[in-house]
Amino acid sequence: MATILFAYLVAVAGAAAVDPQVVLIAATADDEQMAQLEEAVSGASATVHLQVLATRVAKITVADVLAAGPAEMTTSDQTRPIARLWIDAASGSPITLYLTDGARRRLYVRQVPVETGALDRVALESIAFIVGSSIDALLAGQAIGVSREAFAKDMVAAPAPSAPVVVQAPAPPSVPRLAIVSVAYELVRTAPVPYQHRVVVGYQSYWKRMCAGLGVFAAAPQVVGGVPAGARLLTAGLTVSGGAHWFATRSLRLIAGAGAGIEAVRVEPTASASDLRATARFWSGALSLRGFGVVERELGRRWLVGLTIGVEAHPSPERYVIGGGQMMQIVVESPRWRPLAGVFVGGRI
């Protein structure tokens, strides 16, 4: 109790210089866990331009949360924190989260399960979502949780007072999965022109360590040849892919994956020599495989950007007959291997 009171005094003393803010008190014996919790709360608070004043303690009890703050009666609305947050990560699974409004009149309690007793990505995303949605509600003037007095009465009436009581307040949806819609630009090394420029619209779905995606792309028109024969190529296609995180923090992921796709090319042949006759316009289709690596960086709770490096393999490279005459035939053949690089920006849905 004395440790929590001291931590609270430190938090309130620092609040005068930083406004507005969220006061975080976390109980954990792990330096890395403390950093992860602070990063999760900071990320949820940064979207509404709130700073986080974090303090680490050894233990958090319900009595600490219900105790009135020493500066509560003298702190004005202008300097009072938007919210106060206690996270008990020192008692194993589940992690208990207590959140009060700035005046500490109402209390909101949630529990976040963790699989192995250690924070994982799903737990951190859940904490960030709970904090972010609660702050949004407070800024909108909405009430959260129950009154502190009602919660204290429930604690007294509970048959097991040593166990935290979770208030059955309307809960935000859990976040076991993320869905992202993205727009990407890809540069593919192909032939007979040096590069192909693609715009890709994609959908990606993320689980704990796995992800899957679907993309539709269209390429800028390409002109090949010209004298004595040539063609204009219009390319579009569809790809499906899957991957796994081999390194991940809360805001950064490195993904390795593979995929397959189908590519359709509209070929419009031309001929400029008198002894050649251009063939009619036609469609050419081909299957492709790809291997890739992705670096993703999350920006707040909604946006992310990324970089893709990979290679496409075409088992049966396309061959375009773009002109013909009595004695000759001109053929353009695409390469089997096509290195690619791309950048993308996505938004959570």
- In this structure, are 99 and 20 located in the same domain? yes
Q: Which helix (H) or strand (E) holds 43?
A: helix 31-46
Q: Is residue 117 included in any domain, yes or no?
A: yes
Backbone phi and psi for residue 229, each to the nearest 5 degrees, phi listed first: -140, 155
Given a contact cutoff of 8 angstroms between Cβ atoms, the answer to whether 180 and 203 are in contact is: yes
Given a contact cutoff of 8 angstroms between Cβ atoms, the answer to whether 269 and 229 are in contact is: yes
pLDDT tens by residue, 92-127:
778 888 888 877 788 888 888 876 656 777 788 888
- In this structure, are 113 and 222 located in the same domain? no
Percentage of the chain beyond pLDDT 90 is 23
- In this structure, are 182 and 153 located in the same domain? no
Stretch 317-338: mean pLDDT, rounded? 70
Backbone phi and psi for residue 68, each to the nearest 5 degrees, phi listed first: -70, 140
| Whole-number pLDDT of residue 199 | 97
Q: Is residue 323 included in any domain, yes or no?
A: yes
- In this structure, are 122 and 224 located in the same domain? no
Nearest-10 crossing angle of helices 31-46, 121-139: 40
Which residues, other chains included, contact 24 with Cβ-Cβ below 8 Å and sequence gap of 6+? 37, 38, 41, 52, 53, 54, 55, 85, 87
Given a contact cutoff of 8 angstroms between Cβ atoms, the answer to whether 282 and 241 are in contact is: no
When pLDDT is cut at 50, 70 and 90, the band that residue 14 belongs to is very low
Q: Is residue 123 included in any domain, yes or no?
A: yes
What's the domain count of the chain?
A: 2
Q: Both tokens of residue 143?
A: 């009430």
CA separation for the pair 18, 79 (Å, rounded): 9
Looking up residue 203, the CATH number of its domain turns out to be 2.40.160.20
- In this structure, are 217 and 122 located in the same domain? no
CA separation for the pair 142, 81 (Å, rounded): 16
Among the candidates 101, 126, 157, a domain finishes at 157
Q: Is residue 162 included in any domain, yes or no?
A: no
Which residues, other chains included, contact 34 with Cβ-Cβ below 8 Å and sequence gap of 6+? 26, 28, 54, 56
**Higher-confidence residue: 308 or 53?**
308
Among the candidates 157, 187, 222, a domain finishes at 157
When pLDDT is cut at 50, 70 and 90, the band that residue 16 belongs to is very low
DSSP letter for each residue of 82-146: SEEEEEE-SS-SSEEEEEEETTS-EEEEEEE--SSSS--HHHHHHHHHHHHHHHHHHHTT---SE
| Whole-number pLDDT of residue 5 | 44
Burial of 63 (0-12, 13-18, 19+ CB in 10 A): exposed
Q: Is residue 136 included in any domain, yes or no?
A: yes
| Average pLDDT over all residues of the chain | 79
- In this structure, are 184 and 330 located in the same domain? yes
- In this structure, are 191 and 333 located in the same domain? yes
Q: Is residue 129 included in any domain, yes or no?
A: yes
pLDDT tens by residue, 130-158:
888 888 888 888 888 888 788 877 766 65
Report the number of secondary-structure helices (H) and strands (E) in the chain: 5, 17
Query: 69-78, 232-241, 257-266, 338-347: which has the minimum mean pLDDT?
Result: 69-78
pLDDT at 13 over 80: no
Q: Both tokens of residue 63?
A: 């009595």
**Higher-confidence residue: 92 or 311?**
311
- In this structure, are 200 and 319 located in the same domain? yes
| Whole-number pLDDT of residue 317 | 75
Q: Is residue 167 included in any domain, yes or no?
A: no
Looking up residue 89, the CATH number of its domain turns out to be 3.40.50
- Put simply, whether the predicted model's pTM sits higher than 0.75 gets the answer no
- In this structure, are 118 and 183 located in the same domain? no
pLDDT at 327 over 80: no
Domain span at 76: 2-157
- In this structure, are 244 and 141 located in the same domain? no
- In this structure, are 200 and 95 located in the same domain? no
CA separation for the pair 231, 278 (Å, rounded): 9
Q: How far is CA 155 from CA 95, 97, 149, 242, 292, in A?
A: 19, 16, 10, 48, 54
Among the candidates 98, 123, 157, a domain finishes at 157
- In this structure, are 105 and 223 located in the same domain? no
Say which amino acid occupies 117: G
Which of 20-29, 103-112, 165-174, 179-188 has the largest mean confidence? Answer: 179-188
As beta bridge partners, residue 189 has: 195
Q: How far is CA 184 from CA 190, 220, 242, 308, 309, in A?
A: 18, 14, 17, 9, 12
When pLDDT is cut at 50, 70 and 90, the band that residue 31 belongs to is confident
Q: Is residue 163 included in any domain, yes or no?
A: no
